[in-house]
């Protein structure tokens, strides 16, 4: 069964209670339920979260090896992790898409959030649409899976 990895970086297990005025009131479980409900038939959606850069990089290597498309919210790693940049490059240069997602629009926030070291190697970026961003990313990935047969 084709599988989409939805990978979430640090502090995103706190969704729903972490700065709800900024990130909204939906929890990561709510995000996972919405994605499961929206997944195209026959597509498994595997939602994971870690605060550990090494674990996130290992999951990206797994995605490259298993050819599983990725929806990635790198959270704060977005702004400084060159190791994550390199790992995303491993996936996308293998021809496997990585859609970078942010709940907020980091470009409209504080100075350090304006740079993403992930975007230059991601397939595309969706930012500023809250939980809908994950659903938009899954919609695109679903079409890619269909197109890839």
* 113 near ligand DQA (CB under 6 A): yes
CA atoms within 13 A on the CB side of 140: 17
Q: Which one, 85 or 102, has the nearer CB to ligand DQA? A: 102
Q: Is 104 annotated as a binding residue?
A: yes
Q: Is 86 annotated as a binding residue?
A: yes
Q: Is 17 annotated as a binding residue?
A: no
35-37-43 Cα angle (round to 5): 75
* Kind and range of the H or E run holding 79: none
The answer to whether residues 64 and 7 touch, using CB atoms and an 8 Å cutoff, is no
Near ligand DQA by CB under 6 A: residue from 104, 136, 140, 144: 104
* Kind and range of the H or E run holding 3: strand 3-8
62 vs 35: CA distance, rounded Å: 21
Per annotation, catalytic residue among 80, 85, 102, 144: 102
Minimum CB separation of residue 95 from ligand DQA in Å reads 25
Near ligand DQA by CB under 6 A: residue from 3, 11, 92, 107: 11
* 76 near ligand DQA (CB under 6 A): yes
Which ranges of 3-131 does DSSP label H, i.e. alpha helix? 20-23, 28-38, 53-66, 82-93
Looking at 29-37, 59-67, 96-104, 135-143, which segment touches ligand DQA (CB under 6 A)? 96-104
The verdict on whether 82 is a catalytic residue reads no
Looking at 42-50, 71-79, 84-92, 118-126, which segment touches ligand DQA (CB under 6 A)? 71-79
- What three-state secondary structure class fits 59? helix
The verdict on whether 23 is a catalytic residue reads yes
Residues annotated catalytic, as ranges: 23, 102
Q: Which residues are annotated as a binding site for substrate?
A: 73, 79, 86, 103-104, 113
């Amino acid at each position: 069964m084709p599988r989409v990895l939805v990978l979430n970086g640090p502090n995103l297990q706190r969704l729903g209670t972490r700065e709800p005025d900024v990130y909204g009131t939906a929890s990561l479980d709510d995000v996972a339920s919405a994605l499961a409900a929206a997944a195209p038939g026959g597509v498994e959606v595997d939602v994971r979260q870690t605060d550990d850069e090494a674990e996130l990089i290992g999951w990206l290597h797994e995605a490259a090896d298993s050819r599983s498309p990725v929806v990635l919210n790198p959270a704060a790693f977005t702004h400084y992790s060159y190791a994550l940049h390199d790992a995303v490059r491993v996936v996308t240069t293998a021809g496997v898409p990585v859609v970078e997602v942010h709940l907020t629009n980091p470009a409209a926030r504080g100075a350090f959030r304006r740079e993403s070291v992930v975007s230059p190697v991601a397939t595309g970026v969706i930012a500023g649409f809250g939980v809908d961003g994950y659903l938009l990313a899954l919609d695109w990935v679903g079409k890619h899976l269909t197109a890839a047969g």
